Structures are given as C-alpha cells and as structure tokens.
Amino acid sequence: MSFVPYGRPVRAAFVGLGRIYDLNVRGYIDNPDVDVVALVDPSEERRAQRQADWPGAATFASAAELASSGIEVDAAEVLLPAALHADGVVEMLGFGWHVNLQKPMCNDLLDAQRMLDAAKAGDRILRVMENYLFYEPLRKLKAVAESGEIGEICGYHMKMVGTGKGGWDVPWSSFEWQMEQMKRGRGILVFDDGWHKLATALWLFGPVREVRAWIGNLSVGPGVDLDAPSTIIWEHANGVRGVWDITLAMDMYLRSDYYTNDERWEITGGKGFARVNRCTGRGIQQPSLEIYTEGEMRSYHALDDDWASSFRDSGDDDWASSFRDSGRHWLRWLHTGDGPLLWGGEEAVDVLRFALAAYASSASGASIGVNPGQAI
C-alpha cells in the first residue's frame, strides 16, 4: 500500500443518507480536514433533507452518476444497507475513492476477499469504521484491564438487551433490509449490532481461538423474526474467556437517544472488576464506568479526555461522540497516515470470522476453532 497522505482537506462524498447518517455526519461537521463535495442516495427526499447540511454539495442518485460527473472525490463515507456493502465498496474503490464503510463489512468471506482485493488492486484504503472503539468508557475500560489495576484478567461478560419501547424513530425502510438479512442468517442482534460486541472483544483481548454459540430465533410479529435469545462464549488465544448474552424484552421501555439497546461490559480480574454500565441507551443511569478493588468502588462520573486527547476535544460519555471521534480519526488519518485505522479491512475480516464461527457452532452444536489473520 503506497498511501500518500493528503496535504489539504479531503474531498468526501456521503453514499447512503439514511438513519445512521445522523450520527456519522458528526465527524464531518466543523471539521477543517474535510470538504463534503457530494451526497448520494436514490431517495430524492433523503437528498433534499441532507443537502440542508451541505448546501454546496452536489447530489446524485447513484455513486456511478457521481463518478461520471467530473466532481473529484478522495473518499466515500459509505452508509449503505449491509447487503449492498460488498458490491458498493468494490465499485467505489474502482472509482479510485478511499472508503470508510459502516459495519458489518459484509456477509461472507468471499465478499470480504473481493473487497480487500479491490482495495489492493486500486491502491486505496478500505476502513471499516468501529465507533465503539472510540466510546470513552470502553477506552478507559481497556486501559484499566491493561494497567493491571484489577489484577490478571480472569474473564469477562457482555450483556445486551434489545427493548421494544423507547429510543429514536427508525423508519420501517431501515428495518426492511435488516429483515432480509435475518432471512440470510445474519440477524440484527448477533450480526448487525453484535458486530460491535465482537469487535470490542477482539480489541480488548486479541485473537479468538475457539467459539461456542447458541443462537435463537424469536418471532415478534408476522414475518418478523429476531435472533434472540442468543448466547455466545469464546476463548481468546491468551486464554481469557468471554461470554455474551443477548435477550429481547419487547415490552420494556428503555430511555435512549438512539437505539433501544441496553449494554454492559464487565471484566473480572484477580483483584477486582471493572464495568461499563451503558453505551447506546441510558439503562443504568449510574457512572458510565465503575471499578472495584480492595473493598472500594471507584466511579467515573465525567470521564475526561486526557488519555484520548488526540481523538477528542471534549470529555463526555455520550455514545454519539464515538461516531464523531471515529469520523475525525479517519479524516485526520487521511492527512497523516499515522497510527492504527481502527479498523482496517483485515481487522474487520477477523470480526467476520468470529461471527461466522458463532453461526457454525450454533448450527452444529460443536465448538468451532478460529484462525485469525489466516488468508481467506
């Protein structure tokens, strides 16, 4: 890869202007590292709505129309329905654009290989954004685990409850493609949202060598199935074990500014534990991070940004700031080329392998070995 950092603001296009645009756009607003030159979506309504943010940007119904317009684009912020990721990204890399792609990368390893090959062939960067890695309480949790403060890590637990009430409005069109994904065996809880949980596991404790899973299927309405209850257990190459339980509580109200997802991460060490109480929603309205050692509980009420100052300009534990910081990291990276991409295409493939191992385990009832970093 012979990437040469840009010595000027990056010319960027948003491709896909749906629900998650509202959060991804935060990395672009008031950011001198970028000029938003184009907006792409087949929906005229979406184009008109989003152009209010970027009056100077040209709008197009497809990426191909933008590519043939003569407008110069350096990088695309790709916010397409997941099933369109592989073909869409291969096409855009072929136009010579760098790509910052929303997760999940794609549904299977063959598509992942096509995407990596297209990036390599065009000498372009494919990043699969992982905003959870920019969520300050999780960054602090990782630092605590690595510091030895709670002793040697014995294991950890992730919890996720999808609730039926609360949160922001999600248009039915955004659910429709998720239902199609579910029919392909890539459900919204384990694969779509779950991608983040699997990514945080790899980020916290490194490669995974073995996975056991029991993935459920729950009908919540005519033709609407969700992949709960589900339980996934794994062992990292370093011997640390993780367990993640996913449940659905359709009648539960959860206070959330975004999706109704109650999440926790709890790491147990030889001397204590550290727990992130919430992320997307506001289920436990306690300090976002608590650390127990030696009979004392320490709480973080307002995480500051001193250890993450290169990524952020203010300290808060709002989940949406993780999108802002992930986007800024990418746009800055295009200027400097320094540091990790968080994540690169190959790292995203490891998340995909982890998910596929969970599906294989659930289908077979067997324990499945994982070979991270192996050629596809």
Ligand X SMILES: NC(=O)c1ccc[n+]([C@@H]2O[C@H](COP(=O)([O-])OP(=O)(O)OC[C@H]3O[C@@H](n4cnc5c(N)ncnc54)[C@H](O)[C@@H]3O)[C@@H](O)[C@H]2O)c1
Binding site for ligand X (CB under 6 A): 15-20, 40-43, 46, 62-63, 79-82, 84, 102-103, 131, 173-174, 177, 192
- Shortest separation between residue 177's beta carbon and ligand X, angstroms: 6
329 is written with which tokens? 């990291």
Cα–Cα dist 312/318, whole Å: 12
- Shortest separation between residue 27's beta carbon and ligand X, angstroms: 12
- Shortest separation between residue 258's beta carbon and ligand X, angstroms: 8
Give the nearer residue to ligand X in terms of CB position, either 192 or 347: 192
Give the nearer residue to ligand X in terms of CB position, either 153 or 182: 182
Give the nearer residue to ligand X in terms of CB position, either 17 or 38: 17
Residue 203 identity (one-letter amino acid): W
| Structural contact between residues 160 and 242, judged by C-beta atoms closer than 8 angstroms | no
Give the nearer residue to ligand X in terms of CB position, either 93 or 291: 93
Alpha helices, DSSP H, located in 208-364: 320-336, 345-364
Coil, strand or helix at 369? strand
β-partners of residue 234 are 211, 242
Give the nearer residue to ligand X in terms of CB position, either 144 or 351: 351
Distance set, CA 102 to CA 21, 89, 285, 315, 345 (Å): 10, 11, 28, 24, 12
For tokens 């729950």, name the residue. 218
Coil, strand or helix at 284? coil
- Shortest separation between residue 269's beta carbon and ligand X, angstroms: 28
- Shortest separation between residue 188's beta carbon and ligand X, angstroms: 8
